[in-house]
Structure 1
Amino acid sequence: MHSDYPPLLSPDEAKDDIHRKGWKIVSLAQWWDVSTVYVSRIINDPNRKRHWDDAIRGLPHCPRNLRS
Structure 2
Amino acid sequence: MGSAGAGKACHIVEQTPGNINQFGAQAIHNSENLTKLPHGAGTIHARVSGYYSSIQPFTGNQTVRQWLS
TM-score, normalised by the number of residues in structure 2: 0.29
Of Structure 1 and Structure 2, which has the larger fraction of its residues in strand? 2
**Larger RCO (CA within 8 A; separation ≥ 6):** 1
TM-score, normalised by the number of residues in structure 1: 0.29
